[in-house]
Structure 1
């Protein structure tokens, strides 16, 4: 058994909420950089919530961002550089 499977749901949920609050606080961490380093970002988290049957896409994004996605993008998202986009593309390829 993988040790992650031994973590009870309440503990896993608390850790997930802490991660989401951390990402809300660190709005300087751009999604393109998260994708480039780890192969996932805030949008992935909201998609995973939807895939798990938790919430519709827009509601899941609002839950992750703490505000409507379009408002977050306008307030915090910067234009991605060609280098960031290249790192993201290479990182996504590793997800397969």
Structure 2
């Protein structure tokens, strides 16, 4: 793997922070189940990837803390404020998307 320049790392980090803000503040209407079904990842995946990256560097971040970084609040608060009920079709599609994208890791 090639070394990234400091500038490239900073630009990637800035783009990542913008994605984080977009999902946390700008598009609270976008449901995780729809993200997973369409893209194969959601806010929970991002928080898990962040947690895994920290662990690879010897930094321990708990699941709750990592999720709060991508929700901007607790999961309970997010669910109460923004999460809608998923239809049967969404739930069925999620089973497939989860298995294909998360279950295989």
Shorter-chain TM-score tier = 0.7 to 0.9
Distance in 1 between the 2:10 and 2:45 partners?
Answer: 21
Match of 1:47 in 2: 48
After the TM superposition, which residues 1-96 of structure 1 pair with which residues of structure 2 at under 5 Å, given as runs? 8-24=8-24, 25-53=26-54, 55-95=61-101, 96=104
Give unmatched runs, 5+ long, in structure 2. Answer: none
> TM (normalized to structure 2)?
0.78
Higher relative contact order (Cα pairs below 8 Å, separated by 6+ residues): 1
> TM (normalized to structure 1)?
0.84
Instruction: Name the Cα RMSD after superposition.
Output: 2.0
Q: Secondary structure at the match of 2:13?
A: helix
For the Cα contact (< 8 Å) 1:37–1:88, is it kept in 2? Answer: no
The structure with the largest alpha-carbon Rg is 2
Q: How many residues align?
A: 94
